[in-house]
A and B are shown apart, each in its own frame.
Chain A
């Protein structure tokens, strides 16, 4: 349910890059080559974003003809989008599902990760291995049984049905367990001596100390929730409950798609994840520098 093909988080930027002065022409050449390759990679990554924004300012016919300079249709595209889509409603749906889903996933999955690392037991590793094995089951295979479950619980077409299957995310549990290995057990011991109960240690010692991990996990979970497609598609039945991702995706299936309007919607749908990413990325770096002292 959570996207598992995620980049490694927490990789430190290579230190002392600036102080290394290239010693010979070959090194300069190599450096230049690296920059050229990185520039190409950057262009390839950034161009779709650029094109999306340019497209949002152009007429559909111009986009089809391959125009890739800014146009003057932004307000027309916006007007078409807002007449066709109940934007406030779908944004609320998406925001609610993403925010509540993220909060619950963080709480539940981090608690599980903490538990797996902190409490020793004979079967711990076996259960954990089993969990990791479950990661390989494609979601499509679980869809019909899951639907039967939610239908019997009379939860079809509710936010709950979208959020619940994602809150115990195996990947996030794994991620927190790995991160917890770096959590100093002295802190827990000290807290115990101070008379804190286990849940207090988790809430007041573990959580603040691990805030960098939480920040990184928030980015991952929020993006996965915001972009979640297949399950919300199946389980949300009426137009007023659908998320922005579903709505924008469906716009492209018209016989005569209005690409300008669609790209405007795509820009809108992308903004929240971008904002969250940049907001938390800064905190994430801060957290990395001063997390566990």
Chain B
């Protein structure tokens, strides 16, 4: 019994010893901490920015945590703001544009207005608008989700279409072209995921509208661009040009494997497409097609996010100075992140740099970055509102009916009803 007793005592002792050194020191004051997702994209660009700032201010210490996913960051931010406990929060956080208003309006005073100290006219209008509330803008605009129609130039050429044929066309025209490409090459035009409303949102934004009225109420039933977008979405299916996919891997797989001929998407997809080096020279980028209605332009946006400074930060001034110095004016920095990460920033002056003027052999020697920055400046501003995610899921619920030729007015009413219920 004694032997057992001493062994058990040992285990117990070890456990208790373990407990005693459980506490771990948190980051010390004076550091600027940053939360971002995706170490190869947002994390890498922020690290480049930090090293540039540290070259000017050697005593500055910027700690970047890019080990959480976007959902993780949202969960943490939301819990801590709800709990009213800001100890664990960083000084700077990355937030996607379409949820920004939700945070700004749900947690008034949690974020520091930046428009007092940083000139917002230097950035693309639509990016600034996404983070503006009551006349103050709260973000340093980062990457743009400026869209383009990425397409397999070899397939389109085989069917007799040149880059010029895709220049500034409507979605309806794209369907006509896609039908011919399918007849001649056997490739479907694009792949769509019924649980993703990306293309529909793209079509709305290019027409300068969103799910909401100015006062925040739902704008669904009489929303002409939304109706047209849903109609166009259904046409893709009715013309039999869609490979249905589910999930991100399948979605990217369909166009990186050469199965479908084109993908209308945000510029951030460039890295995924170029990862297949054997397809160099086989791709082109055309302006995003527009809706066949008044006011719709050949420029839109999908995704993109911006940097926010938390009002609870102990190092607000340094955090703002960092954003202002590097992100707000360093044109050379934007060339570097364009080359290294394929990140298209929102600073309008960046297009004057060398990298933006370069051509890309992968895309047949076209000046794709000049093109993207031209489209960037043309993207209509829309107010993403607070309940975009709720309306998105209401739209998703109707998509299966819509693509089977369901009545659009009924669908819009159903979307309105479901969204209305969610918003209460």
Is B57 positioned at the interface, with any CB of A under 8 Å from its CB? no
Report whether B84 and A148 are in contact in the complex, using a CB–CB cutoff of 8 Å.
Answer: yes
* Contact call B83/A148, Cβ cutoff below 8 A: yes
Assess whether A111 is interfacial by the CB under 8 Å rule.
no
Asked if A284 lies at the interface with its beta carbon under 8 angstroms from chain B, I say no
In the complex the two chains form, is A253's CB within 8 Å of B24's CB? no
Contact of A237 among B88, B275, B276 (CB under 8 A): B88
User: Which of B83, B248, B256 is A147 in contact with, Cβ under 8 Å?
Assistant: B83
B80 cross-chain contacts in A, Cβ below 8 A: 147, 151, 234
Collect the chain A residues with CB atoms within 8 Å of residue B249's CB.
Answer: 63-64, 257, 259
A100 near B18: Cβ-Cβ < 8 Å: yes
Q: A64 and B253: CB pair below 8 A?
A: yes
In the complex, the answer to whether A253 meets B71 with C-beta atoms within 8 Å is yes
Instruction: Tell me the nearest residue of chain B to A96, going by C-beta.
Output: B18
Which residues of chain B are within 8 angstroms of A66 by Cβ–Cβ distance? Answer: 253
B window 78-98: CB within 8 A of A: 79-80, 82-85, 87-88
Contact call A65/B253, Cβ cutoff below 8 A: yes
Q: Are B76 and A257 in contact (CB under 8 A)?
A: no
**Do residues B67 and A157 form an inter-chain contact, with CB atoms below 8 A?**
no
Contact of B67 among A60, A160, A247, A259 (CB under 8 A): A247
Distance in angstroms between the alpha carbons of A234 and B82 in the assembled complex: 12
A41 interface contact, C-beta 8 A: no
* B12 cross-chain contacts in A, Cβ below 8 A: 107
- Compute how far the CA of A155 lies from the CA of B248 in the bound complex, rounded to whole angstroms: 37
**Residues on the A chain within 8 Å of B18, using CB:** 96, 99-100, 103
- Chain A hits for B269, CB < 8 A: 255
Are the CB atoms of A253 and B70 closer together than 8 Å? yes
Is A256 among interface residues, defined by CB-CB distance under 8 A? Answer: yes
B29 at the interface (CB under 8 A from A): no
Chain A residues within an 8 Å CB radius of B256? 61, 64
* B56 proximity list for chain A (CB < 8 A): none
Compute how far the CA of A204 lies from the CA of B37 in the bound complex, rounded to whole angstroms: 51
Is B8's CB under 8 angstroms from A203's CB?
yes
Shortest Cβ distance from A10 into chain B, in angstroms?
24
In the complex, chain A residues whose CB is within 8 Å of the CB of B272: 255-256
> How distant is A200 from chain B, measured CB to nearest CB, in Å?
8
Complex interface: chain B residues within 8 A of A163 (CB): 22
User: B22 and A158: CB pair below 8 A?
Assistant: yes
CB distance from B150 to the nearest CB of A (A): 14
Interface segment, one of B38-46, B174-182, B283-291, B313-321: B38-46
Contact of B26 among A65, A238, A242, A257 (CB under 8 A): A238
Q: Shortest CB–CB separation between residue B318 and chain A, in angstroms?
A: 19
Chain A, range 82-138, C-beta contacts under 8 Å to B: 84-85, 96, 99-100, 103-104, 107
Rounded to whole angstroms, the CA-CA distance of A154 and B26 in the bound complex is 10
7 more contacts with CB within 8 A, not counting A107-B15, A155-B23, A256-B41, are A64-B256, A144-B82, A159-B22, A204-B1, A204-B4, A233-B68, A237-B26
The 22 sampled A-B contact pairs (Cβ below 8 Å) are A100-B18, A143-B79, A154-B87, A158-B22, A158-B24, A159-B23, A160-B19, A160-B23, A204-B1, A208-B4, A233-B68, A233-B72, A237-B26, A238-B26, A238-B65, A241-B24, A242-B68, A250-B68, A250-B69, A255-B272, A256-B41, A256-B271
